Chain A
Amino acid sequence: MTSLDFSTTIGNTWFPAPTFTASGCASSGRELAQFFPLREMGGVVTKSVMSKVRTGRATPRMAETPSGMLNSIGLQGPGIDAFIAKDIPYLLEQKARIIVSIAGETVEEYSTLARKLRSVSGISAIEVNISCPNVENRGLVFACDPEASRRVIDGVRRTIGGELPIIAKLSPDVTDLVSIARGVVDAGADGLALINTVLGMVINVDTMRPHLGGKTGGLSGPAIRPIAVRAVYQVHAALPQVPILGMGGVASGKDALEMILAGASGVSIGTASFGNPTAIMKIQSELKQLLIDRGFTSLKQAIGYAHRPEAEQDND
């Protein structure tokens, strides 16, 4: 049997496999645990948690679109205290590796969340979801504002200290993704999660109004995969040393390989788990085989392989 080193690293943290859930697509893991052991994937990226209990947006919250879907949940969640009390112990008991995703409405809220997580043991990394409206700046999404993005990451970095890797989750709905990526890395992010959903809308032609309760929603699924691959490719070209978690419509091992070749150190699987609860296990085994078939002996060799010089390509 051909041996393959399937492990990856993000910041100073080692993961045995490069496959993760995408935040908001696996709740806190319990629901998927019925279908496969959570420890068998790289890690669980938990649903972005805020300081307080959130009831979220009005229904309808979902619209299926060609090869994708729109969602408008509004970060419904239990709040950080209940999350730390109930969800972290459960995931540790399952021997799952945990990346906690946090979201805030102010720069201060992100720091507060980081402070609460600092004393929790067993967490592998923190994902900072900055695709939230900044209530201190007319609701402009942090991730669309380079300065606000930097300030959020800087606040989290200062609070958490130097140990726990910070992954900044960026929105593709920006003019210059690379400059935002560079900004958050300068502010202390160890890794990047690319991409969050793409803002979209569906209008119901019977009611002749926006279909979703929240009017706009995040588009996910294979429909956005080329956008995600492009984003990963561009950011990896500019910042080759920064690990990227690639996501956006990954539904097969081939899709995951595309992300890896574009420059991702790992892939997150989100919407695919909605249609197939065992999607992550399927993608993981397909990806392994595809890497072996192409002669790679480690996942790391394949990261960013699509960027190699033309001459090298000709020799292959």
Chain B
Amino acid sequence: MSQINKSAAQLLAPIVSNKKVGQYHQIIINVGDLANLCKPGNFVAINVGGDSSSMILRRAFAISRVSVNSTFGGTMEIIAAPHGQGSKWLCAQGEGVVLDIVAPLGTAFGIPTEPVSVLLVGGGYGSAPLFGLAEVLNARSCRVDMLLGASTASKIYAPMEGKRAVNSMRIYTEDGSMGQVGRVTDPIAEIIKDLDIAVVYSCGPMAMLSAITKITDSLSVVHQCAVEEAMACGIGVCMTCVLPVENEDGTVSMLRSCIDGPVMDGSKVQWSLVGKQL
């Protein structure tokens, strides 16, 4: 067995900036050389609430982007939604506040060795890590097209600069308040055929990932998805964030989404068994 999380380190890292972007916060953290080790798909686990907090568990965030030669040294960007007590605390922290972080954790998106066409699908702020991924894919001369979806316009995360690395970006909202009315899954089958897509990358709610798998399973296309499960530790010791995943021999195991994920092969995840006793 290979070493688990072999690039991971725990460090005290200051916030460089915290900007509100729509309903979300874009938080940039100075992580020094650690930025070199972060790959699209990896996540960071952050202590919340300060020393006397009653919140004892870290919060996991996808690393949406890294910059290795910014004016601050290496930096990491995360996109946070102030939903729970922990993320609200984090979103309220300003420049200079030092965070206790553990990163990079988990699996990364696999990058094709050939310049193929790929489709990136993001739901809500699950789109955040896809922009960093798009830049990497673009640098490999892949054709990158993107689909973003949410229930309503304010839940779409699509920074202006994010569009630079993609060939096209289409937005879907269920209430029609932005882009086209409908779900992000509506046009996928057609796009895969029209653009001869080799890999679909996705990040967002589990229902969306499951729906994409239904489409990709019937087509000859790889589906790499970044899953979201409640985690206590983020480093593989607590066994709480498990998902049913098919093994090579056809049996199903409960794999940890923190170390065997968050990026998983969508066709192997047994979506119908999520939340069920095996």
Interface set of A (CB-CB < 8 Å, partner B):
24-27, 30-35, 47, 55-62, 64, 66-69, 71, 73, 76, 86, 90, 213, 221-222, 251, 271-278
Contact = CB atoms under 8 A, between A and B. Distances in A.
B10 A35 contact: yes
Interface in B192-249: 229-233, 235-243
Nearest to B234: A274
23 contacts: A24-B239, A25-B238, A27-B236, A31-B259, A32-B235, A34-B5, A56-B242, A58-B275, A59-B242, A60-B230, A61-B241, A62-B231, A64-B57, A64-B232, A71-B238, A213-B275, A273-B233, A274-B58, A275-B233, A276-B47, A276-B100, A277-B235, A278-B10
Contacts of A32: 235, 237
Contact of B10 (A30, A31, A277): A277
B8 A275 contact: no
Nearest to A30: B4
Contacts of B102: 277
B1 interface: yes
Contacts of A34: 3-6, 8, 235
A32 to B, nearest CB: 7
Given A59-B229, A275-B47, A276-B47, A76 B239 contact: yes
Interface of B: 1, 3-6, 8, 10, 47, 54-58, 100, 102, 229-233, 235-243, 252-254, 259, 274-278
A59 B230 CA distance: 9
A173 B276 CA distance: 28
A170 B28 CA distance: 46
B277 A61 contact: no
Contacts of A275: 47, 56-58, 233
B240 A71 contact: yes
Interface of A is mostly: loop
Contacts of A274: 56-58, 232-233, 237-238
A273 to B, nearest CB: 6
B92 to A, nearest CB: 19
Given A56-B239, A213-B277, A31 B229 contact: no
A69 B240 CA distance: 11
B3 to A, nearest CB: 7
B237 A58 contact: no
Contacts of B259: 31
Contacts of A278: 10
A29 to B, nearest CB: 9
A253 to B, nearest CB: 14
B239 A67 contact: no
Q: Return the 9 tightest CB-CB contacts between A and B, nearest first.
A: A62-B240, A274-B233, A31-B236, A55-B278, A61-B240, A58-B277, A67-B54, A66-B54, A274-B232
Contacts of B241: 59, 61-62
A28 to B, nearest CB: 10
A61 B239 contact: yes
Given A55-B253, A273-B237, A86 B1 contact: yes
B5 to A, nearest CB: 5
A64 B6 contact: no
Question: For A25, A32, A59, which residue has the most chain B Cβ atoms within 10 angstroms?
Answer: A59
Nearest to B48: A275
Contacts of B274: 59
B239 A27 contact: yes
A88 B45 CA distance: 29
Given A31-B4, A56-B239, A278-B10, A221 B56 contact: yes
Given A58-B275, A274-B56, A69 B232 contact: yes
Contact of A62 (B3, B55, B232): B232
Contact of A222 (B56, B236, B237): B56
A24 B278 CA distance: 20
Nearest to A212: B240
Most chain B beta-carbon neighbours within 10 Å: one of A30, A31, A66, A71? A31
A133 to B, nearest CB: 15
Contacts of B230: 59-62
Contacts of A90: 1
B56 A57 contact: no
